[in-house]
A and B are shown apart, each in its own frame.
Chain A
Amino acid sequence: MVCEMETDQIEEMDVEGLSSMWPEDVGTQADNQFNVGDSDTLKEVDIAEKHTMADLTRLPELMNTTDQGSSQLTNLVRQWEYMQDHAVRLLREELKILTRQREEAEAKELKIIEEHNFESQEPENVPVLDETSHLFRRFRQKKRDELVDRERVVIDEEFDTVAYWKQKALSLEKMLEASTERERRLIEKLNESLKTMESHSAPVEELTQNLKRAEGFLHFILQNAPIVMGHQDKDLRYLFIYNKFPSLREQDILGKTDVEIFHGGGVKESEDFKREVLEKGKASKREITFETELFGSKTFLIYVEPVYNKAKEKIGINYMGMEVTDQVRKREKMAKLREDNAVRKAMESELTKTIHITEETMRAKQMLATMSHEIRSPLSGVVGMAEILSTTKLDKEQRQLLNVMISSGDLVLQLINDILDLSKVESGVMKLEATKFRPREVVKHVLQTAAASLKKDLTLEGNIADEVPILVVGDVLRIRQILTNLISNAIKFTHRGKVGIKLQVISQPSFANEEQKETSVWICCDVYDTGIGIPENALPCLFKKYMQASADHARKYGGTGLGLAICKQLVELMGGQLTVTSQVNAGSTFTFILPYKVATSDDHSDDQDEFSDMVDHHQPEPDDTTEGYFQFKPLLGSIYSNGGSVTGNNFLPHKAMLTTPLKLTNGFVSDPSSNTGQSETVQVENGGYMDESRQNCCPESAHQYGNGNGRCSSKESESCSSSQASSEMESELTVSSPREEEKTETEVKETSQPKILLVEDNKINIMVAKSMMKQLGYTMDIANNGVEAINAVKDSSYDLVLMDVCMPVMDGLKATRLIRSYEESGNWEAAIEAGVDIKTSENDQACVPPTNRLPIVAMTANTLAESSEECYANGMDSFISKPVTLQKLKQCLQQYLQ
């Protein structure tokens, strides 16, 4: 409180010499709206308790010794003096007026007495203040007595003028009496005034009252203010403290320093701050956060000012603190929010940028893919034509040129395929499919394909551990692609020795994620070779796009440099890992680990079509399912020696080799069971130039090229050069130039154009399907319902029936059942029973049971499981979901028209 007063005092002292630290008039009785000092008002205000702690002995001392303290007292005294002066002046003025009145009255009296010759013994002037009242009264009594006596005398005198005088005297006496009476009262009043003055003689009481009022005011203002005020001496020991929420007792604080009282964060800082102020002699403010056991974490805004004594020496500091924890917290919150906002904005803009970049990248990739696709179609036309050209008579130079042309074309095709794959994987378009497949068969087929185009003296071997499941679920096409890629890579860089694939089951690797942990089996696949190896410094960039171990290698061995990058991406896409170990001149081993689900092999019946591209389910090969070791050796000298001049039917060297596994003793050693079944329709799209060799084609090759994925099939034979183009062509033919289609069509017509029957009632569907067939190079017959279909099947032998399920007259399911019944029994009795009007007139063959089961593919709008099951149950072989697309149709035809 004192500090507060002093502070204000100092500020105001400069302005006017005599001012109060209170709002004006607070210290006076004057009625004013700011009259806080009114004691009644203050009494109403509840001043609960005094929080002040003061060293009462030291406080007066302080007040006396400091400038502020003394000036405060001086001020109070001066103010009192001023008030007293004023009062005295007022009294004096009043006295003067009274004296003058008295003098007038006496003058009047004298005049009267003189007039009437009365002798007066009264003194001329009775100095009011010089005489005691007693004296005065006595005098007055005497005087009155005399007057009364004299009057009586006057009255007693009987005179002519007596009555008159008497009357006059009486009135005069009355006037005098009134005057005297007034005088007396004034004197009484004066006396009273004097008495009051005496009682007010000491200023202390007044001062104390003023102080009390000041204190009251301060309490009124400060009683709820969260403020701590204090004074500390030079050594920063508390001499005085005011605290609204005292948690320490007086003796705990006074005479002690902050450091002695509190412990914790901020205490030292505040102490240092106070000391700094003391040293610099300049008041300042600071925010300090305290972290003390006493009152927890609180932030105070502290104001410290130095205090001087009269000799202008520093004797301590005044200190005032206000708790601003909440405000600071709010402020910090705001700052944090603002910061967060800024960060978020920055992130947003970053994200937008990233999105933009990603979009750009995606667009670029999309464009790349589109472009690649656009390039591929005409290019495959070029390569195909070149292949056909190579079957004609050419001289040696022409053939050489043509071979260069074909191999260059192949390379570009391969590059484009790789780019397509890569951009598919990278843009996330690549979808993995889960199909059941037999790992042993996959390995065998991959090796077989590689062996077919092998031109080196290498042994290819496959080794599958016994514990590897017979049937697993995975994306077989991609796995084959990886294997083929790695194998062809290995062959490329290996000049002698062997190249092989090893499959084994391993325990779950560390990189497996939660989802993968449910996987039943992890299979590790090693593709090893005894080739030139890879120098250690080249290993890091091995899987990077367009990178090869060295520029030399790139020149010497060719290739796009994309193969391994694709493999790695595919493996990672499937949740696995691809690694490599290598030793220069000793060989390399590429290892990929992939998770698979184990499929149960007893549910063959309804999933045959899913892996029918792997297994020829018409004639299963028991060896494939369990055999764990294969070996393939090249047929050196037999064909490749004159490979360049192979013409006519044998222009495809690997085909030639594949066709003769039984004749060549060192051929497919492990594959004695290869036979010629189910192969008559293979390579039908290649038309005339293949029609002779295909008769002997083994089933594997049929799967190879009929697995419904053109790119993959081409990939698998990527290491063959000229020979590869035929398969390439086969898959690309349908989307190549119209000129070629025409040629194909005409060629096909010359040979055995497969007969296809479309059973469909919807005109539009027929129109679309017909157009698609035309584009694929086929024609077909149309039946509008089941009955027509049966009649058509009866009259001519078809290679494939595409059957709508839902049709008027007779639906596809029933028609299929009847056709199957005919195939079993050799007669159409069931159909006739069902009410079909069978025209048996001229066709005798109708009674002869057919030799082959007619492939019937359902076309259904419902792809629901029960619907497909229904299809199978009614004897259908497969189904295409509607609407039919070119791709679906193509796959279907490839599958069934081999």
Chain B
Amino acid sequence: MNTVVVAQLQRQFQEYLVSLYQQGFLDNQFTELRKLQDEGTPDFVAEVVSLFFDDCSKLINSMSRSLGRPESVDFKQVDSGVHQLKGSSSSVGARRVKNVCISFKECCDVQNREGCLRCLQQVDYEYKMLKTKLEDLFNLEQQILQAGGTIPQININ
């Protein structure tokens, strides 16, 4: 085990994670998630997050279908999708996604199709962005583990 490499990776990991918090991609709920991960469930966070992204993709597809029909938008269906998305993103600490969901829901409540479409685009963008970022983060984690190091405990505050 190369301690220098590990230390470097660990620092990189830490900086990356902190930057994700600072840039508002993540909030404390993600910290909660990380707390739940232990020896018994080493991939807990990754599992939850990938579930979340799958969910996002499905929901966004269905919502975009609903919103795609200009005459008869089923706002109830969209609303339910947004609600789901909001709950999920809040649960995993995907802060930006959640924030977009909040305005999305407002648009939905007043049946503003244009706004909804805009929010949908934003949500799509944000979740994909987060996905890339988290993939990078997990890659870093894997690298640390492969180099024989441990994932550092990081106190974000």
- State the A residues within 8 Å of B (CB): 366, 370, 738, 761-765, 767-768, 771-772, 775, 806, 808, 861, 882-886
Contacts and interface: CB of A to CB of B under 8 A. Distances in A.
A808 B80 contact: yes
B107 interface: no
B44 interface: yes
Given A806-B83, A885-B29, A767 B90 contact: no
A293 to B, nearest CB: 68
A882 B155 contact: no
Interface in B1-55: 28-29, 32-33, 35-36, 38-41, 44, 47-48, 51-52, 55
Nearest to A771: B36
24 contacts: A370-B155, A761-B84, A763-B51, A763-B55, A764-B51, A764-B55, A764-B91, A764-B92, A765-B88, A765-B91, A768-B36, A768-B91, A771-B36, A771-B41, A771-B44, A772-B36, A808-B80, A861-B90, A882-B90, A883-B91, A883-B93, A885-B29, A886-B32, A886-B36
Interface string B75-86: 000001001101
B68 interface: no
Contact of B33 (A768, A806, A808): A768
Contacts of A762: 84, 87-88, 91
Contacts of A771: 36, 41, 44, 48
Nearest to A766: B91
A765 B80 contact: no
A343 to B, nearest CB: 36
A377 B84 CA distance: 36
Interface in B135-153: none
Interface residues of B, number: 28
Contacts of B33: 768
B46 to A, nearest CB: 12
Nearest to B38: A738
A762 B44 CA distance: 17
A808 B93 CA distance: 23
B35 A882 contact: no
A764 B48 contact: yes
A431 to B, nearest CB: 14
B40 A738 contact: yes
Contact of B92 (A761, A768, A806, A885): A768
Contacts of A806: 83, 87
Contacts of B41: 771
A370 B47 CA distance: 28
Nearest to A735: B35
Nearest to B84: A762
Nearest to A772: B36
Nearest to B35: A886
A861 B36 contact: no
Which residue, B28, B36, B92, B155, has most C-beta atoms of chain A within 10 A?
A: B36
A771 B32 CA distance: 11
A764 B52 contact: yes
Contacts of B84: 761-762
Nearest to A773: B36
Contact of A882 (B28, B48, B87): B87
Contacts of A808: 80
A763 B40 CA distance: 20
B80 to A, nearest CB: 6
A765, A767, A772, A775 — most chain B CB neighbours (10 Å): A767
Contacts of B51: 763-764, 767
A762 B39 CA distance: 25
A738, A761, A767, A883 interface centre (most CB from chain B within 10 Å): A883
Contacts of B55: 763-764
B90 A883 contact: yes
Given A761-B84, A762-B91, A763-B51, 16 more contacts: A366-B155, A738-B40, A762-B88, A763-B55, A764-B55, A764-B88, A765-B87, A767-B48, A861-B87, A882-B90, A883-B32, A883-B90, A883-B93, A885-B32, A886-B35, A886-B36
A885 to B, nearest CB: 5
B49 to A, nearest CB: 9
B83 A883 contact: no
Contact of B29 (A738, A767, A883): A883
A762 B83 CA distance: 10
A747 B123 CA distance: 46
Contacts of A738: 38-40
A767 B87 contact: no
Contacts of B36: 768, 771-772, 775, 886
Nearest to B52: A764
A738 B92 CA distance: 24
Interface in B45-79: 47-48, 51-52, 55
A814 B15 CA distance: 47
A767 B52 CA distance: 10
B50 to A, nearest CB: 10
B91 A882 contact: yes
Contacts of A883: 29, 32, 90-91, 93
Contacts of B29: 883, 885
Interface in B73-132: 80, 83-84, 86-88, 90-93
Nearest to B33: A768
A869 to B, nearest CB: 20
A738 B36 CA distance: 12
Contacts of A882: 87, 90-91
Contacts of A884: 91
Which 10 residue pairs are nearest across A and B when measured between Cβ atoms?
A764-B88, A771-B36, A883-B29, A762-B87, A883-B90, A765-B91, A885-B32, A883-B91, A764-B91, A768-B91
B36 to A, nearest CB: 4
A886 B36 CA distance: 9
Contacts of B40: 738
B51 to A, nearest CB: 6
Nearest to B102: A861
B137 to A, nearest CB: 18
Contacts of B80: 808
B127 to A, nearest CB: 13
A803 to B, nearest CB: 14
Nearest to B31: A885
Contacts of A370: 155
A772 B34 CA distance: 11
Nearest to A764: B88
A759 to B, nearest CB: 13
A760 to B, nearest CB: 9
Contacts of A761: 84
Contacts of A764: 48, 51-52, 55, 87-88, 91-92
Nearest to A769: B91
Nearest to B98: A883
A629 B91 CA distance: 49
A765 B92 CA distance: 8
A886 B28 CA distance: 11
Nearest to B29: A883
Which among A738, A765, A771, A806 has the greatest number of chain B C-beta atoms within 10 A? A771
A366 B157 CA distance: 10
Contacts of B93: 883
Contacts of B92: 764, 768
A802 to B, nearest CB: 14
Contacts of B86: 861
B122 to A, nearest CB: 19
A737 to B, nearest CB: 11
Nearest to B93: A883
A765 B94 CA distance: 13
Nearest to B88: A764
A765 B89 CA distance: 9
A366 B80 CA distance: 42
Interface-centre pick from A738, A763, A775 (highest chain B CB count, 10 A): A763
A885 B36 CA distance: 10
A171 B80 CA distance: 147
A141 to B, nearest CB: 130
B27 to A, nearest CB: 9
Nearest to B90: A883
